[in-house]
Amino acid sequence: MKQSNRFFCGIDFGGTAAKIGIVDEKGNLTATERVEISAGDGYDDIFGEVAKKIRSLCGKLGVSLEAIGIGSPGFIDRSEGRVLQGSENLPVFKNRSLVKNLSDDFALPVFADNDANCAAAGELKFGVGAGYESFVMITLGAGVGGALVLEGRVFRGTRGLAGEIGHICLDPQGPFCTCGSRGCFEQYASASAIERSYLEKCGKRATGPVGPTGAEPVTAEVVFQRAREGDGCAIEAVRETAQHIARVFGNLVNVFNPEACIIGGGISAAGEELLEPVTQYIADFAWPLPLSGVKIHTAALQNEAGILGAAAQCLERLDL
Amino acid sequence: MKQSNRFFCGIDFGGTAAKIGIVDEKGNLTATERVEISAGDGYDDIFGEVAKKIRSLCGKLGVSLEAIGIGSPGFIDRSEGRVLQGSENLPVFKNRSLVKNLSDDFALPVFADNDANCAAAGELKFGVGAGYESFVMITLGAGVGGALVLEGRVFRGTRGLAGEIGHICLDPQGPFCTCGSRGCFEQYASASAIERSYLEKCGKRATGPVGPTGAEPVTAEVVFQRAREGDGCAIEAVRETAQHIARVFGNLVNVFNPEACIIGGGISAAGEELLEPVTQYIADFAWPLPLSGVKIHTAALQNEAGILGAAAQCLERLDL
């Protein structure tokens, strides 16, 4: 790996840990560290520990940073990097700026954005989004996140709150969502939604050796695996998930006329298994004209997508 | 009316006529003309006639134009102003540039865009959109159009095809739409959808002196009128329409984080009758945080909105 000259720090906050990495301008992740976060930890403690690890990583590698990028769950205020809402797993961050401490500490540009926007920045700078001026991204995992890249930038909206694709209403009589609305896309395409859909089908049909009585716990990954093995209930659960994704992509193709749609998050590891039916069904929902030429991808960044995306936002915001 | 120094021509193409107006930079419409379009008319004939009327208007007013703006139904290619699709009422325009003839003829900047994008430009420059950096606009009439204003500009997407909000799918098992998909927003919020919704309710309930047996034809305008008069079926038809509008606005508030939502088109003349329930229901679909501060408006430009919007796009594109 040829070393380049510019280095950025990416910090990926989750409920139980901050993952920290040093990333060069080509997207090479050269070293990582981890700060465990416990329920009682204070804001300053966490950022003090993070700063220490960043210094130790830079010292070890002998590099200086150009900027620090932070990705976090929740609504992040565009101007101050403040966590406005949605960080239930990191309650200590609520209404606090994610950038202030590190910015004072390192005298560097520090940026913060929600994790789906970071994922989009990651694909734009280092992944399948490179070369596109515009794309729609969804991240499928425990929840469903989303982001828009328009005219070569992550589109953040008036206050930085844009991209909540997971809360497009698919059915106003559908299941209640964490956001308080009903029938949100998240209720049909998150990992637990895929698991639930599969288990419901198994429960009614009692087909095969699989289902809730199986020895292994049924995760979304297992559902995709069983679909590959020919389990009818799993095939149908995957097909329905793909239809919901295709519907949301189709709607957004009509509204944005983008060049591509990208599926990220843990579930995107399913690859062709998901890509093929989504590509098939999207024609049911999009106008042929804006759809023509639109490419559907799964994300290129899988492991460490969080760190890479957090770092990529530095390049995106600094126009590098 | 104080005359200003800069004048623009707006041309609003419909199926049977081109409406032409001279508009100043403040949005004052100083004079209008009309070119009737018959089925057999050729492309050059139509534009020849239009050019003649523009010259006569300018001569009469003693003004010189800075630019010409054209609004037309259909998908308009962003770079060449070519009508790609959706101009069924003006088949002679299919695959032809709307800007070439007038641009050669007048040696002026000539712009073309679809009528919903023009409506958004009109509100942005001369209407309730002035002062906003971002808003979502829908135009409710025979069809349902849409447009996005982002960062102070009409957002046109990769090829100029963005904004097809009327074709967001509300129900994949819903009625077939002209676009080939099912359950599009247009099928629930166009003038004929409102009429149909009302007549269906009347047919089943046979309430009051109104309904399909009434003397006057039931237009959307009549439905709103009857709702004001207390007709239960009309009240319900208006309420359901408002819920569909609120759902689409709520989804787009989540995705774009805009400052405002604007209802235009003929049906926006209903004013408070529509605004009040839409404002009420939108909270069912949007996150409270991006929704907070979002203003819901009906369009300020009503009569001649087509000409004014077509002209306004000149100011928008020329950064005036």
Residue A89 predicted with pLDDT over 70:
yes
Distance from CA of B290 to the nearest CA of A (A): 6
- Say if residues B269 and B221 touch (Cβ distance below 8 Å): yes
* Residue A21 included in any domain: yes
Local structure of B209: helix, strand or coil: coil
How many percent of chain A have pLDDT more than 70? 95
How many domains is chain A built from? 2
**B165 touching A (Cβ < 8 Å):** yes
CB atoms within 10 A of CB A176: 11
Q: Using the beta-carbon criterion (under 8 Å), do A255 and B85 form an inter-chain contact?
A: no
Amino acid at B160: G
ipTM value: 0.92
Please choose, from the candidates B182, B91, B176, B160, the residue with its C-alpha nearest in 3D space to the C-alpha of residue A284.
B182
B205 and B111 in a single domain? The answer is no
A76 and A195 in a single domain? The answer is no
Residue B106 predicted with pLDDT over 90:
yes
Please choose, from the candidates B203, B317, B297, the residue with its C-alpha nearest in 3D space to the C-alpha of residue B245.
B297
Q: Using the beta-carbon criterion (under 8 Å), do B287 and A167 form an inter-chain contact?
A: yes
**B173 touching A (Cβ < 8 Å):** no
* Residue listed under structure tokens 């010189």: B64
Amino acid at A301: L
A115 and A146 in a single domain? The answer is no
Kindly list the residues from chain A whose CB atom is less than 8 angstroms away from the CB atom of residue B257: 156-163
Confidence of residue A4 (pLDDT cuts 50, 70, 90): low
Mean pLDDT for B122-142 is 97
A293 and A310 in a single domain? The answer is no
| Nearest Cβ partner for B289 among A150, A161, A284 | A161
- Say if residues A12 and A295 touch (Cβ distance below 8 Å): no
* Residue B2 included in any domain: no
- The backbone torsions φ and ψ at residue B75, rounded to the nearest 5 degrees and listed phi first, read -85, 120
pTM of the model: 0.93
Helix axes A220-228, A232-256, angle to 10 degrees: 110
CA gyration radius for chain A?
A: 20
Mean pLDDT for B143-151 is 96
Kindly list the residues from chain A whose CB atom is less than 8 angstroms away from the CB atom of residue B134: 157-158
| Nearest Cβ partner for A247 among B148, B169, B287 | B169
pLDDT at residue A202, as a whole number: 87
Q: Which of residues 107-146 of A touch B (CB under 8 A)?
A: 133-134, 146
How many percent of chain B have pLDDT more than 90? 82
Helix axes B220-228, B191-205, angle to 10 degrees: 60
Please choose, from the candidates A309, A238, A274, the residue with its C-alpha nearest in 3D space to the C-alpha of residue A13.
A309
B145 and B248 in a single domain? The answer is yes
pLDDT at residue A214, as a whole number: 56
Kindly list the residues from chain A whose CB atom is less than 8 angstroms away from the CB atom of residue B85: 289
**A167 touching B (Cβ < 8 Å):** yes
**B258 touching A (Cβ < 8 Å):** yes
Distance from CA of A14 to the nearest CA of B (A): 22
Bridge-based pairing state of the strands A295-298 and B7-13: unpaired
B140 and B84 in a single domain? The answer is no
Least CA distance to B288: which residue of chain A? Answer: A179
Half-sphere exposure of residue A92, counting CA atoms within 13 Å on the CB side? 15
Q: Which domain holds residue B112?
A: 7-124+304-317
- Say if residues A127 and A156 touch (Cβ distance below 8 Å): no
Q: What is the pLDDT of residues A179-195, one digit of tens each?
A: 999 999 999 999 999 99
- Say if residues B209 and B195 touch (Cβ distance below 8 Å): no
Q: How far apart are the first and last CA of chain A?
A: 21
Q: Using the beta-carbon criterion (under 8 Å), do B290 and A162 form an inter-chain contact?
A: yes
Check the CA dihedral B165-B170-B172-B177 and report its sign: negative
Helix axes B232-256, B220-228, angle to 10 degrees: 110
pLDDT at residue B211, as a whole number: 46
- Say if residues B68 and B9 touch (Cβ distance below 8 Å): yes
B262 and B138 in a single domain? The answer is yes
pLDDT at residue A211, as a whole number: 46
Kindly list the residues from chain B whose CB atom is less than 8 angstroms away from the CB atom of residue A158: 133-134, 257-259
What CATH number is associated with residue A70? 3.30.420.40
* Residue A226 included in any domain: yes
Mean pLDDT for A284-288 is 95
Q: Using the beta-carbon criterion (under 8 Å), do A158 and B259 form an inter-chain contact?
A: yes
- The backbone torsions φ and ψ at residue B161, rounded to the nearest 5 degrees and listed phi first, read -105, 5
Strand partners, B76: B83
B17 and B61 in a single domain? The answer is yes
Comparing B244 with A95, which gets the higher pLDDT?
B244
B162 and B95 in a single domain? The answer is no
Can you read off the two tokens belonging to residue B264? 């235009």
Q: Could you give the CA distance from residue B115 to residue A3 in angstroms, rounded to a whole number?
A: 52
Helix axes B220-228, B272-281, angle to 10 degrees: 80
| Nearest Cβ partner for B75 among A180, A243, A289 | A289
Q: What is the pLDDT of residues B16-64, one digit of tens each?
A: 899 999 999 999 999 999 999 998 899 999 999 999 999 999 999 999 9
Confidence of residue B91 (pLDDT cuts 50, 70, 90): confident
A87 and A170 in a single domain? The answer is no
* Residue B265 included in any domain: yes
Q: Using the beta-carbon criterion (under 8 Å), do B257 and A289 form an inter-chain contact?
A: no
Residue B285 predicted with pLDDT over 90:
yes
Kindly list the residues from chain B whose CB atom is less than 8 angstroms away from the CB atom of residue A182: 284
Please choose, from the candidates B95, B94, B92, B98, the residue with its C-alpha nearest in 3D space to the C-alpha of residue B40.
B92
CB atoms within 10 A of CB B298: 22
Q: Could you give the CA distance from residue B312 to residue B25 in angstroms, rounded to a whole number?
A: 8
Residue A296 predicted with pLDDT over 60:
yes
Q: What is the DSSP letter of A257?
A: -
Amino acid at A36: E
Highest mean pLDDT among A80-94, A209-223, A265-279: A265-279
Q: Using the beta-carbon criterion (under 8 Å), do A84 and B289 form an inter-chain contact?
A: yes
Beta-carbon contacts below 8 Å between A and B: 126
**B85 touching A (Cβ < 8 Å):** yes
Q: What's the full length of chain A, in residues?
A: 320
Kindly list the residues from chain B whose CB atom is less than 8 angstroms away from the CB atom of residue A255: 146, 148, 162-165, 168, 252, 255
Comparing A5 with A43, which gets the higher pLDDT?
A43
**A156 touching B (Cβ < 8 Å):** yes
Q: What is the pLDDT of residues A124-170, one digit of tens each?
A: 999 999 999 999 999 999 999 999 999 999 999 998 999 999 999 99
* CB-neighbour burial class of residue B59 (10 A; exposed 0-12, middle 13-18, buried 19+): exposed
Bridge-based pairing state of the strands A17-24 and A29-36: antiparallel
A147 and A258 in a single domain? The answer is yes
* Residue A113 included in any domain: yes
* Residue B12 included in any domain: yes
A242 and A280 in a single domain? The answer is yes
Confidence of residue B5 (pLDDT cuts 50, 70, 90): confident
* Residue B34 included in any domain: yes
**B256 touching A (Cβ < 8 Å):** yes
Q: Could you give the CA distance from residue A251 to residue B115 in angstroms, rounded to a whole number?
A: 20
Residue B209 predicted with pLDDT over 70:
no
| Nearest Cβ partner for A254 among B158, B167, B250 | B167
Please choose, from the candidates A149, A311, A31, the residue with its C-alpha nearest in 3D space to the C-alpha of residue B157.
A149
Local structure of A128: helix, strand or coil: coil
pLDDT at residue A207, as a whole number: 54
Q: What is the pLDDT of residues B221-267, one digit of tens each?
A: 999 999 999 999 999 999 999 999 999 999 999 999 999 999 999 99
Q: Using the beta-carbon criterion (under 8 Å), do B243 and A172 form an inter-chain contact?
A: yes
Residue A208 predicted with pLDDT over 80:
no
**B148 touching A (Cβ < 8 Å):** yes
Least CA distance to B185: which residue of chain A? Answer: A251
Local structure of A101: helix, strand or coil: helix
pLDDT at residue B215, as a whole number: 59
Residue B89 predicted with pLDDT over 90:
no
- Pick from A250-254, B201-205, B232-236, B314-318: least confident: B201-205
* Residue A1 included in any domain: no
Mean pLDDT, all residues of chain A = 92
Strand partners, B169: B184
